[in-house]
Amino acid sequence: MKRPRKQTGMATWLASLMIISMPVLAQTDLDRLTELEAKTTAMAEELAILRAELEAARQEEPESELEALRSEVAVATQTAQRAEKSANEWKNTSAVTHISGYAAAGFTSEKNGTDSFDLVNFNPIFHFQYGDLVMWESELEVRVADNGETEVGLEYSAINIFLNDYVAFVAGKFISPLGNFRQNVHPAWINKLPSAPSGFGHDGAAPSAEVGFQLRGGMTFGEQSRFTYAAYIGNGPKLEGVGGELHGIETGGFAGDKDDEKIIGGRISFLPVPKLELGFSGAFGDAAVVENDGLDLVDDPSRAYTVLGADLMYRWNNFGFLGEYIQQDIADNASSLIPMGGKWESWYLQSAYRFAATKWEGVLRYTDYTSPHPDESQEQWTLGVNYLLTPNSALKVAYEVNDGLAGAETDNNRWLLQVAYGY
Amino acid sequence: MKNRPSHSVLAALAISTIGLGAILVEHPAQAAESSETSQPDPMQFVRGAKAWANNCNRCHRMRDPKELRDDQWRAVLSHMRTRGGLTGQETRDILAFLQGSN
């Protein structure tokens, strides 16, 4: 019977223990619960904050990208605008600088003479323009002389002031406006033959250049007709005596006037239809011999100097026709050291035909040049064939039949080859 | 040396006076240019093509408009205006044609 009493006591002890310990256990769970609730609340708050931040970040991030994109676009736009401005600014400048000109190389085979590569010319032309009001243009002539030296000359250098639509004022050294060949045809890429007509080169019958003032321009009237004009005043030519007679009339254009006599002249041309031009030239004044046998001559009396010329140009389809007459006349003066004057005159007719749909062109020219010096006078036939490489370049072959003073260079026939380029 | 005012001096003065007189009147080139800027002339290209065909091969072969840039044609046309006796209006017309064709 002791055993049941012992078991009953154990049970009673356990029950007492449970009863005693139950409030302690209940208190611990409550704390934990409270702690958990607090933690949960904190976590919920943190989550809310994170969500808010996430939402804010989601809202902010696209805006910043857009802003960055906008900034990039703005930079790119500015860059493009600067590039466009740079690309187009040359079109909108007030001032323009430009170089053009022409060059030629040639070979001459002369009967009773030598065969030689005798021509290397380089003629750059510089244009300096301001708006539509002013342009200064200059042409240099650079050439290799037969002694190997390089010769440089100033063909012209003048300012052109466009006073209105019909008048340009020119001051400086300019190509003589007398006649047509010197001012319009002589550049190698324009001249259809390798040589100039006799008397139309330097110091022949046609004046080359002048230093002074000039007014020139043109106007239209009717449907197709036009009129051009040029009027100038300049220092005029220099006369030189050699061996007691006039050697020639130097008309290269001089920035000085030893005889203090000016020349007044000009040219008018009329074009009843666009392809036909008729020109008339004249210049008048006094000139004096300023050099004799290489020595300066002072106070030699002046004598009358006259230039007269007429020219014709006509084009019809592939056919082109040129004709010109010009003369320079120096009057006699009995009180001069060289009393005898003289007349230098020349004329030529030229026709050219470009064979249709080809680059070949045939040219025929007749020239008759008369000088006071018999060894300079010459009658000349020139037949040429050109191959037009481009609109501004040509290969030219020509044969001159020359009739001059027997034994003189002007009596020798010549083959001429030339390559000319206008740039 | 001469003490009298020679005829050449008078002629030089006359040319200068005419030039100065001309520059005092309206400058049509600039006037036309400013009006063109505000109001383009649709017929200018056509007039320029015609003037180009009529004038530019009087002395030399026709040059391709594509040979040069717009600014280069400006200088070339000013050169040819003086050399060929073109009017200011013809020059602007031909320039418009060349610049529109290169």
CA closest to B71 among chain A residues: A91
Sheet holding A245-250, edge to edge: A245-250, A238-242, A289-292, A295-296
User: Long-range contacts made by residues B66-71, C-beta under 8 angstroms, separation at least 24?
Assistant: B66/B101, B66/B102, B67/A391, B67/A392, B67/B102, B68/B98, B68/B102, B69/A90, B69/B102, B70/A91, B70/B99, B70/B102, B71/A90, B71/A91, B71/A93, B71/A96, B71/A98
User: In A, which residues are within 8 Å of B100 by CB distance?
Assistant: none
The average confidence (pLDDT) of chain A is 91
Q: Does the beta carbon of B28 lie under 8 angstroms from any beta carbon of chain A? A: yes
Q: What is the pLDDT of residue A29?
A: 76
Asked if pLDDT for residue B32 goes beyond 50, the answer is: no
Residue matched to tokens 């310990």: A21
Q: Enumerate the β-bridge partners of residue A167.
A: A164
Which of B9, B17, B66, B71 to substitute to test the interface with A, most A CBs within 10 Å?
B71
Residues of B in contact with A391 (CB under 8 A): 61-64, 67
pLDDT tens for A149-178 read 999 999 999 999 999 999 999 999 999 999
Distance from CA of B13 to the nearest CA of A (A): 10
The reply to whether A163 touches chain B by the CB within 8 Å rule is yes
Mean pLDDT value of segment B16-39: 56
Task: State whether A91 and B71 contact (CB < 8 Å).
Answer: yes
- B10 pLDDT band, cuts 50/70/90, is low
Residue A185 contacts B, CB cutoff 8 Å: yes
Length of chain B measured in residues: 102
Q: Is the pLDDT at A112 greater than 90, yes or no? A: no
CB-nearest to A315 from B26, B57, B64 is B57
Lowest mean pLDDT among A295-304, A380-389, B35-44: B35-44
Q: Which residue of B has its CA nearest to A181?
A: B59
The answer to whether B84 contacts A224, with C-beta atoms less than 8 Å apart, is no
8 Å CB contact of B89 and A165? yes
> Which range, A289-293, A417-421, B50-54, is most confident?
A417-421
Query: Both tokens of residue A152?
Result: 């440089």
Q: Which residues of B touch A185 (CB under 8 A)?
A: 59
User: A392 and B15 in contact by Cβ < 8 A?
Assistant: no
pLDDT value at position B22? 61
The 3-class SS string of chain A reads: CHHHHHHHHHHHHHHHHHHHHHHHHHHHHHHHHHHHHHHHHHHHHHHHHHHHHHHHHHHHHHHHHHHHHHHHHHHHHHHHHHHHHHHHHHHHCCEEEEEEEEEEEEEEEECCCCEEEEEEEEEEEEEEEECCCEEEEEEEEEEECCCCCEEEEEEEEEEEEEEECCEEEEEEEEECCCCCHHHHHCCCCCCCCCCCCCCCCCCCCCCCEEEEEEEEEEEEECCCEEEEEEEEEECCCEEEEECCEEEEEECCCCCCCCCCCCEEEEEEEEEEECCEEEEEEEEEEEECEEEECCEECCCCCCEEEEEEEEEEEEEECCEEEEEEEEEEEECCCCCCCCCCCEEEEEEEEEEEEECCCCCEEEEEEEEEEECCCCCCCEEEEEEEEEEEEECCEEEEEEEEEEEECCCCHHHCCEEEEEEEEEC
Helix axes B88-101, B28-38, angle to 10 degrees: 40
The Cα–Cα gap between A2 and A308 comes to 173
Q: Give the angle subtended at the CA of A237 by the CAs of B1 and A369, to the nearest 5°.
A: 150
At A4 the pLDDT is 52
Question: Are the beta carbons of A199 and A344 closer than 8 angstroms?
Answer: yes
Give B-chain residues touching A388 at CB under 8 angstroms.
61
What is the CATH T-level fold of the domain B29-101, as seen in this structure? Cytochrome Bc1 Complex; Chain D, domain 2 (1.10.760)
- B residues 8-27 closer than 8 Å to A (CB): 8-9, 11-12, 15-16, 18-19, 22-23, 25-27
Q: Binning pLDDT at 50, 70 and 90, where does residue A2 land?
A: very low
Give the gap in angstroms from C-alpha A233 to the nearest C-alpha of chain B: 6
Q: Report, as an integer, the average pLDDT of A83-110.
A: 90
Contact A165, B29 (CB under 8 A): yes
* CB-CB contact of B68 with B79 (8 Å): no
pLDDT for B18 beyond 70: no
Taking Cα atoms as reference points, which of A198, A199, A175 lies closest to residue A187? Answer: A175
Domains of chain A, by residue range, sit at 2-89, 94-124+173-422
Q: Identify which of B73, B74, B71 has the alpha carbon closest to the alpha carbon of residue B63.
A: B73
| Residue-level pLDDT at A114 | 85
* Most confident of the ranges A37-41, A201-205, A409-413: A409-413
* Whether A423 contacts chain B with CB within 8 A: no
Q: In this predicted model, what pLDDT tens digit does every residue of A223-281 receive, in sequence order? A: 889 999 999 999 999 999 998 889 889 999 999 888 888 999 999 999 999 999 999 99
**Band of the pLDDT at B77, cuts 50, 70, 90?**
very high
Q: Mutate which of B82, B86, B89, B99 to disrupt the A interface (most A C-beta within 10 Å)?
A: B82
Q: How many CB atoms lie within 10 A of CB A366?
A: 16
For A1, A239, A241, A242, A243, the CA distances from A295, given in Å and listed in that order, are: 177, 12, 9, 10, 12
Does the CB of A386 have a partner CB in chain B at under 8 Å?
no
Q: Does A164 touch chain B (CB under 8 A)?
A: yes
* pLDDT tens figures, B59-76: 998 899 999 999 999 999
Contact A190/B at CB under 8 A: yes
A366-416 pLDDT tens trace: 999 999 999 999 999 999 999 999 999 999 999 999 999 998 999 999 999
Question: What local confidence, expressed as pLDDT, does residue A22 receive?
Answer: 57
pLDDT single digits (tens) A322-346: 999 999 999 999 999 999 999 999 9
- Taking CA–CA distances from A94, the nearest residue in chain B reads B71
What residues of chain A, 77 to 116, have a C-beta less than 8 Å from chain B?
A: 90-91, 93, 96-98, 100
CB-CB under 8 Å, A166 with B88? yes
| 8 Å CB contact of B8 and A261 | yes
CATH tag, A94-124+173-422 = 2.40.160.10
Given an 8 Å threshold on Cβ–Cβ distance, is B16 in contact with A213?
Answer: yes
Q: Residues of B with CB below 8 A from A192's CB?
A: none
Asked if B57's CB is within 8 angstroms of A96's CB, the reply is: no
